[in-house]
Each structure stands twice: as structure tokens, then as C-alpha cells.
């Protein structure tokens, strides 16, 4: 019995962390977030480590690893608030494509980092009054909003009946959407009776991709929140007021203890959720929902508390702590906010009508 990361997984974690530390420091994050620089080199660096093809099978040009490995990478990305199209291109799209079968060439191109595949799932989870996608004879009509990754070449679009279609970016009218989190890019896609390729009409393929996406968002929050906690502890040890480090005041140290106490079980939860996604089928959906929702709550608490520990500096752009705050906020809302997901958790158990 071993509940934890294997040696290989620890190595993966170390190498991704090292790459991000060296190549995506806060200045670089800022340059990409403000639009001064594209994120292409970040993604190529990660692809060279095998991150883009992590979930693509080996015979299709990928690394063929599992959900827990992907969660480890997501945690690293969150820790460094790294701008990268990981969630859609390296997780949700490959999981759906592999689940549906076929598309070997596209999977190979994903794995090499040459091609990005965005994911338009929001309408299938809960369509807004002014959006929604329908299919008729393989032709898509309607509007998808909050589509992951504005810079993708292809999009995997989930319709209201949870069927998945693949189309080229040129076949949609694309508008970039500004959100609080500038380390992620999202867009709106409008389809005007355009031809698309049906990838899957299997509900399980859709939910598998969605569950994995949710676990990755939770893992990203785990990393981002851990970083905020680490920064808070370091700041509280260094910053002095009333002739002593503010971290010696119980009011401040208890804020840090509360963050640590809430966050530590989250690490085990994210690991288990990712493990269950591959190995414990009967529990995997419920755990994915609970993990996404729980990390959203803990993340929200830590984003606020860590900012407060930093006092006025936490509020400034100078320190850049807000990138983590906003990242955690994005992870909370995306692919289902906590209240919606908890209702899903109740339905999965058969205790909600």
C-alpha cells in the first residue's frame, strides 16, 4: 500500500517545476498576460518535456501516462501561474479523442505541441440564454461562450445533447473574451450552419473529458493556493511591524495555519480523484465533482486570506499576487461553479431528484 507519488512522478514534478521556474518567472507571466508576448515558447518547452502528449498513447506519438501524472503537471502550472493551453489541448481533447477512437494524426500533432485543440463544453454543462450549440446533419449552429484557449487551431464542441464535434478554427467566427484571469485565454465561437465532424455521441466520452477537466482545475488550484500559502509564510517571517515579524502575531500565524490545515487534505483529495479516474470507476464521477467543488471553496478562502497576510502590498500589481488570486477564481467558475457541481454530486448518488 502506497498512497503517494511514485519516483517517476516525483521526477516529473521536479522537471516541470524546474522548467517553469526557469522559463516562466513572474515577469514572463506578466508579459504574456498583458499581451506583450505570445505563450508559444512556454508551450513548446512543456511539449519538449512530454507534457502536451502526456495522455496521448505511445503508439500515437504521446507519452501514454495517466490522470495522476496530468494532475501533477496541473498543480505545477497553477503554482507558477503558467499561461499554457494544458487543460483543453493536453487533457480534455486527448481524453475525448482517445475515448472516441480514431484521429491518430491529430493526436500525434497534439503530442508534438504543433497543434492546439480548444474545448467548448460550457454550453453542454449549462447553456446561457444567449448561447447554446445544436447540430443538424453534422452542421453546427449557435454560439459557444467561455471556450477554452482562444489560440487553438481546432475546437472540440459539445452540443446541448452532449455530442462532441470537431471543427477547424476558420469555420467559426471567433472573438476573444476578456476575463479576470489573463493567464488563460478564452473566446466565443459562433457557428452558422457549418460542417463539423462528429467525434462522439457517447455520453461517457463527454463525461470522462469533463471529469478530467474538473480534476485538472482542482489540481491547478491546489498548486496556486500552495504558492499563495508559501508566499504568505515567507512574507510574514520577513515583514516587521511593532519591532517584530508579523508572523509572530497569532492573528497572522493563525491565518497561515488555517490555510495549511484546509489545503493539506486537498492534496490527498486531488491525488485520489486523479487515481480514481483511471482505477476506481464506481467512485470516479462523484469524487471528481467533490474535488472540483471542495478545491474551489478552499481556493477561495486561501486567495483572500493570503492576500490579507500581505497587507497593502497584496493588493498591488507590483507584487503580482493577484495573478494567483485570479487564477483560483477562474478555476472555481470554469466547467461548473461549486453549487452546480455539488448538485451534480447529489444526483450521482441518487439523493437529489
Partner 1 sequence: MDLSFGSEYEAFREQVRDFIDQHRDQAPKGGGRSGQAKAWQKILIENGYTARTIPRQYGGFGAEPDIIKARIIGEEFARAQVPGGMGGQGISMLVPTLLEMGSEPQKQQFIKPTLHGDIIWCQGYSEPGAGSDLASLTTSAVLDGDEWVVNGQKIWTSTAHLAHWIFCLVRTEPEAPKHQGISFLLFRMDTPGIEVRPLVDMTGNANFNEVFFTDVRVPKDQIVGKRGQGWLVANSILGFERDSLADPNASLARINALIKLMQSETVAGKRLMDNPVYRDRLMKLQARVMAMQFNDMRVLSSRVNPGQDATMARMITKLQGTELRHEVEGLAVDIMGEIGLSYGDNPYLRDGGSWQQQYMFYLGLIIGGGTSQIQKNIISERGLGMPREPKVEAGKA
Residue (318 or 353) nearer to partner 1, CB: 353
Residue (61 or 66) nearer to partner 1, CB: 66
d(CA 91, CA 99) in angstroms, rounded, equals 12
Residue (220 or 262) nearer to partner 1, CB: 262
Q: Which residues contact 293 (CB under 8 A, 6 or more apart)?
A: 338, 341, 342, 345
CB of 77 to partner 1, least distance (A): 20
Residue (157 or 266) nearer to partner 1, CB: 266
Query: What is the helix (H) or strand (E) element at residue 188, kind and residue range?
Result: strand 186-195
CB of 233 to partner 1, least distance (A): 5
Residue (5 or 63) nearer to partner 1, CB: 5
Q: Map grid coordinates 508551450 to a residue.
A: 43
CB of 295 to partner 1, least distance (A): 9
Q: Which three cell numbers stand for residue 69?
A: 501524472
Asked whether 246 and 99 are in contact (CB, 8 A), the reply is no
- How many Cβ atoms sit within 10 Å of the Cβ of residue 204? 11
The residues that bridge with 134 in the sheet, in sequence order, are 141
Residue (327 or 342) nearer to partner 1, CB: 342
Closest to 82 in 3D by CA, of 42, 116, 115: 42
CB of 172 to partner 1, least distance (A): 36
Widest distance between CA atoms in the chain: 73
- How many Cβ atoms sit within 10 Å of the Cβ of residue 128? 11
Cα 327 from chain centre: 9
Direct distance between the N- and C-terminal alpha carbons of the chain, in angstroms, rounded to an integer: 38
Binding site for partner 1 (CB under 8 A): 1-6, 68, 233, 236-237, 244-245, 247-250, 253-254, 256-258, 260-262, 264-269, 271-272, 275, 279, 287, 290-291, 293-294, 297, 339, 342-343, 345-346, 351-353
Q: Which three cell numbers stand for residue 228?
A: 499563495
CB of 351 to partner 1, least distance (A): 6
Q: Which three cell numbers stand for residue 286?
A: 462523484
Q: Which three cell numbers stand for residue 152?
A: 487553438
Residue (135 or 256) nearer to partner 1, CB: 256
d(CA 43, CA 102) in angstroms, rounded, equals 25
The residues that bridge with 191 in the sheet, in sequence order, are 142
CB of 291 to partner 1, least distance (A): 8
Q: Is the dihedral of CA 63, 66, 67, 71 positive or negative?
A: negative
- How many Cβ atoms sit within 10 Å of the Cβ of residue 344? 22
- How many Cβ atoms sit within 10 Å of the Cβ of residue 333? 16
Residue (102 or 265) nearer to partner 1, CB: 265
CB of 290 to partner 1, least distance (A): 4
Question: For 152, which DSSP code?
Answer: -
CB of 279 to partner 1, least distance (A): 8
CB of 267 to partner 1, least distance (A): 8
Residue (245 or 320) nearer to partner 1, CB: 245
Amino acid at each position: 500500500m502506497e498512497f503517494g507519488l511514485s519516483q517517476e512522478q516525483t521526477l516529473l514534478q521536479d522537471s516541470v517545476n524546474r522548467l517553469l521556474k526557469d522559463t516562466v518567472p513572474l515577469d514572463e507571466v506578466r508579459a504574456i498576460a498583458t499581451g506583450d508576448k505570445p505563450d508559444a515558447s512556454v508551450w513548446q518547452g512543456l511539449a519538449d518535456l512530454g507534457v502536451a502528449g502526456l495522455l496521448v498513447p505511445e503508439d500515437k506519438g504521446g507519452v501514454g501516462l495517466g490522470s495522476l501524472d496530468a494532475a501533477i503537471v496541473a498543480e505545477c502550472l497553477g503554482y507558477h501561474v503558467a499561461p499554457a493551453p494544458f487543460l483543453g489541448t493536453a487533457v480534455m481533447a486527448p481524453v475525448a479523442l482517445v475515448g472516441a477512437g480514431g484521429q491518430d494524426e491529430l493526436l500525434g500533432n497534439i503530442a508534438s505541441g504543433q497543434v492546439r485543440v480548444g474545448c467548448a463544453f460550457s454550453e453542454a454543462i449549462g447553456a446561457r440564454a444567449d448561447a447554446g450549440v445544436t447540430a443538424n446533419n453534422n452542421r453546427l449552429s449557435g454560439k459557444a461562450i467561455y471556450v477554452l484557449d482562444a489560440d487553438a487551431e481546432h475546437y472540440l464542441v459539445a452540443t446541448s445533447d452532449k455530442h462532441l464535434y470537431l471543427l477547424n478554427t476558420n469555420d467559426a467566427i471567433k472573438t476573444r473574451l476578456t476575463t479576470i484571469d489573463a493567464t488563460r485565454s478564452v473566446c466565443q465561437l459562433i457557428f452558422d450552419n457549418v460542417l463539423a465532424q462528429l467525434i462522439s455521441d457517447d455520453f461517457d466520452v463527454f463525461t470522462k473529458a469533463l471529469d478530467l477537466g474538473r480534476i485538472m482545475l482542482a489540481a491547478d488550484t491546489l498548486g496556486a493556493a500552495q504558492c499563495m500559502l508559501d508566499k504568505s509564510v515567507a512574507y510574514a517571517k520577513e515583514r516587521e511591524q511593532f519591532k517584530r515579524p508579523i508572523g509572530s502575531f497569532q492573528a497572522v500565524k493563525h491565518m497561515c495555519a488555517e490555510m495549511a490545515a484546509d489545503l493539506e487534505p486537498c492534496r490527498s483529495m486531488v491525488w485520489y480523484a486523479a487515481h480514481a479516474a483511471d482505477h476506481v470507476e464506481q467512485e470516479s464521477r462523484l469524487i471528481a465533482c467533490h474535488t472540483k467543488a471542495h478545491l474551489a471553496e478552499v481556493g477561495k478562502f486561501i486567495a483572500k486570506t493570503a492576500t490579507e497576510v500581505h497587507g497593502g502590498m497584496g493588493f498591488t500589481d507590483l507584487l503580482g499576487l493577484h495573478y494567483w488570486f485570479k487564477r483560483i477564481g477562474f478555476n472555481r467558475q470554469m466547467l461548473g461553479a461549486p453549487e452546480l457541481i455539488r448538485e451534480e454530486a447529489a444526483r450521482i448518488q441518487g439523493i437529489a431528484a
